[in-house]
Structure 1
Amino acid sequence: MPQPTGPLGEDVDPRPVAEQQKGRRWSLVGPGIVVAATGVGAGDLVATLVAGSRFGYALLWAVVVGVVVKIALAEATGRWHLATGSTIFTGWRSLGAWTSVYFVLYVLIWGFVYGATAMTSSALPLAALFPWLPLEAWAILSGLVGLVFVWFGNYRLFERAMTILIGVMFVVVVGLAVLVVPDLGATLSGLVPRLPEGSAIYTLGLVGGVGGTITMAAYGYWVNAKGWRDASWMTVMRLDNRVAYITTGVFVVAMLVVGADLLHRSGITLTEGDRGLLDLDEMLRDRFGQIVSTLFLVGFWATSFSSLLGVWQGVSLLFTDFVRTRREARGQLTEGPAQRSLPYRAYLLWLTFPPMVLVLVGQPFALVVAYGALGAFFMPFLAITLVWLLNSSRTPAPWRNGWLSNALLVAAAALFLVLCVNELAGLGG
């Protein structure tokens, strides 16, 4: 009897669902951890630190709102996969060919530039820890290690690695927040919504930016790879999603505490971009010593490399599904696991090798503009299409959006549209 497979040809557990879930729901948590670890990168750490350094604890409430928004988005993605038995890309194709045109343009340009960004971000802490190799060499090595790991590994190994990396991130950052001895009263006062002068865009960034990337659309694929393939897994998926984003919320709050207590009080400004974390490393070394500095760089690396691995694995699955649905529309059937397919490996190579040119020569301005413009549109695209799909007959009636899901997804769409307009205005300026 052949082994049962999921929507993308992945092997699944043949035992009855009730038997698989019995007494072990907490131990099943995993795909949410993967999407959360991928979504929080070094750039998000810098953004949170900058918000804390400028406004203290005043924007803490925005982190809480952001966690709720991300839970709603990821839950909607997972619910679509489980309720319909199809993938998010199948849903997008049902909305018209325009979704495929946008997607392929986005992943090709975004992947080219993001590959260089992810490799450089992973290399920064390694170059600081081991200066006997230049930054560019560490960047190329990071990309190659990510390629080999994802190329030959399976989902189970990938999930374990991501869990370890987010564990390192969590321990280091939360430990650092405890070390700076936060003002508990000021911290709690940050839960009261208010907008200090000049904080509007930072607030929107905290709500919409941290933990939110194209990999949120990959959550449903990781749910399927875990073996969750129908609505009987809905409760487990929702538990998984909430645990992951609450963990992310604690992580981001810890970074805000570090920014508020260590930077805000000192009046210190970080360098823009991922390199700002190297400024923080110098401060930590001066104040707490070499051991704390080294541990922070390890956490910095875990944050960056988990994002690299998550994109290499998750966005390659999205691209593979794009190719699969096109072939099926032409009557060409595809078989076998997605992770062993030609489209999957072709996109992995696209993420790894062409961006090495950008690592060595820098990022051409025109490409950065195109990347920023397309990237700004993806999260509104995801939120709007989820509202569309989950209120239509494409979704079985018991699993369509209720009023709370609709309210959160519409709010998310509005938030991301505002951030999109701001991003495009910045590019135009």
Structure 2
Amino acid sequence: MTEVQSKADCSPPTAQPTPGWRGRVSYLGPGLVLAAASVGAGDMITSISGAALYGMGLLWVAALGLLIKFGVTEAVGRHYIASGTTIVAGARTVASWLPHLLFVFFLVVALIYGAGLSSVAALALSTLFPTIPVIPASIAIAALAAAVVLYGRYNAFENTMKWFILLKFGLMVTLACITLAQIDDWGGFVHSLRPTFPSGSLIDVIGLIGGVGGTAGIAAYGYWVREKKWTTPQWVPIMRLDAATSYGIVFVFVIATTIVGTGLVYGTGRSIKGADGLAALAEPLGADLGSATRVLFLVTFLMVVTAALVGGFNGLAYLLSDSLRTIRRVSDDTADSYVSEKSWVFRGFVLMSLISSVVVVFTGRPVALVLLYAAVGSLVLPILSATLLVLLNRKDIVPSLRNGLMSNAILVTALAMFVLLAAVQIMESF
């Protein structure tokens, strides 16, 4: 009997899910966490930059990217339910060196992630209140995000992320409605709805696909499923609904952001480059739609980035603590001593991310570190896709939970697409 089988067979009995749609909806949670954590400033920049050139014509690209990432996320959740083991522990059965590589990748991301996002959040805050200095604000936001994660209970963390969902997605939809109400050239707006293929190259399309949704957050989804104790096949339909809800919400956010970008930037010659350009968009937005809308945009910007920071601290701490546990070959029976929000290992990695954020902010975020973060982060999804292709096609997985034709097709597509995207990212970085 394999390790995977014995772990699944020895799992303690859990309550069965309540039947019916109302019962399923009441369990949703990890997908809402993923939606709040995976949508950040990069998604806003990608959506608005695409809208600046093509209006609403690239929504099909976002839809395709989110469909592919849903397939990968569903596979992560299904692997945990089918095997009772985490994705990092599963990776060790694919190649003994893989957890070591993943640990290095997650460590690099964690050391730089907090500084980048807290600086972007502080930029939005200082644009809203010019008297607030950026560096102290950045440190305060990073400390607040770490405090939410260090509170130590998953339910409290999940509820906090649900509030972030309500705030940032509700605010962005409100901004989209205000933008639609102010559009004068409805003919041009409707014409921009026609699906467009960028004239540059296939690489541009793949870059846009990779620019929406999460990366490391997708790998962390399995830990949030684990916290919900979804451990039997009866939970698979709820897990799928949960993951689908996540990407449905993200797609609504992308639509709303694209509407704002089309209404404000399309055909004007303006461009958005980086978080600085995104913050600068608040000024023309206020000139066109009023000062209240400018404030609404900056608050939305702040909520989007802060939620991503909180979710990132949590997800990366799970991935790092589980990678360390797997490398040290700590048994699944004592996994909670590492892979738990109450464990000192988990909390140590959160504190490490916080301290690193402060250090990198004070050193000015050296360009070399940012380039390294971009290059390493781009490698997570192809490794994850390849690992899932191996794990979920094994005979020791319950037949009903193995990959079908559609799942394999999505994972193969994700692998090819993200390998190409990673290669381009690395070449551009170095």
- Tell me, yes or no, if structure 1 residue 312 matches structure 2 residue 313: yes
Scaled by the length of structure 2, what TM-score is found?
0.90
Moved more, 170-179 or 319-328: 319-328
User: Aligned AA for 2:354?
Assistant: T
Q: How does 1:22-421 map to 2 (within 5 A)?
A: 23-181=22-180, 193-198=195-200, 200-270=202-272, 272-329=273-330, 333-336=334-337, 338-421=340-423
Deviation, 1:412, is: 1.1
Deviation, 1:425, is: 1.9
* Maintained 8 Å contact 1:75/1:241: yes
Q: How does 1:7-22 map to 2 (within 5 A)?
A: 16-19=15-18
Rounded Cα–Cα distance in structure 1 between residues aligned with 2:382 and 2:281: 32
The CA deviation string for residues 114-158 of structure 1, in whole angstroms up to 9 with x for no partner, is: 121021122122212233320001100011111111111411111
Deviation, 1:386, is: 1.1
Rounded Cα–Cα distance in structure 1 between residues aligned with 2:18 and 2:43: 40
Q: CA 1:254–1:364 in 2, change beyond 3 Å: closer, same or farther? A: same
Deviation, 1:241, is: 0.8
Rounded Cα–Cα distance in structure 1 between residues aligned with 2:87 and 2:134: 37
The CA deviation string for residues 384-411 of structure 1, in whole angstroms up to 9 with x for no partner, is: 1111111123422221111111111111
User: Aligned AA for 1:298?
Assistant: V
User: Aligned AA for 2:63?
Assistant: V
* Maintained 8 Å contact 2:59/2:255: yes
Q: Percent identity over the alignment? A: 35
The CA deviation string for residues 227-247 of structure 1, in whole angstroms up to 9 with x for no partner, is: 322222101111111111011
The CA deviation string for residues 261-284 of structure 1, in whole angstroms up to 9 with x for no partner, is: 2101222122x2112221211112
Give the 3-state SS of the residue equivalent to 1:267 in structure 2: coil
The CA deviation string for residues 178-222 of structure 1, in whole angstroms up to 9 with x for no partner, is: 222267776676676541322644422232221121110010110
Rounded Cα–Cα distance in structure 2 between residues aligned with 1:56 and 1:43: 18
Q: CA 1:22–1:409 in 2, change beyond 3 Å: closer, same or farther? A: closer
* Maintained 8 Å contact 2:142/2:357: no
User: Aligned AA for 2:55?
Assistant: G
Scaled by the length of structure 1, what TM-score is found?
0.90
User: Aligned AA for 1:420?
Assistant: A
Rounded Cα–Cα distance in structure 2 between residues aligned with 1:285 and 1:191: 25
* Maintained 8 Å contact 2:74/2:243: yes
User: Aligned AA for 1:42?
Assistant: A
Rounded Cα–Cα distance in structure 1 between residues aligned with 2:326 and 2:263: 50
User: Aligned AA for 1:373?
Assistant: A
Structure 1 gaps of 5+ residues are: 1-6
Rounded Cα–Cα distance in structure 2 between residues aligned with 1:100 and 1:165: 32
Q: CA 1:300–1:342 in 2, change beyond 3 Å: closer, same or farther? A: same
Structure 1 partner of 2:429: 427
What is the root-mean-square deviation in Å for CA atoms of aligned residues? Answer: 2.4
* Maintained 8 Å contact 1:119/1:139: yes
Q: CA 1:335–1:379 in 2, change beyond 3 Å: closer, same or farther? A: closer
Q: Alignment length, in residue pairs?
A: 416
Q: CA 1:42–1:335 in 2, change beyond 3 Å: closer, same or farther? A: closer
Deviation, 1:335, is: 4.6
Rounded Cα–Cα distance in structure 1 between residues aligned with 2:151 and 2:259: 39
* Maintained 8 Å contact 2:37/2:307: yes
Q: CA 1:56–1:230 in 2, change beyond 3 Å: closer, same or farther? A: same
* Maintained 8 Å contact 1:61/1:190: no
Give the 3-state SS of the residue equivalent to 1:275 in structure 2: helix
Rounded Cα–Cα distance in structure 2 between residues aligned with 1:189 and 1:389: 45
User: Aligned AA for 1:314?
Assistant: G
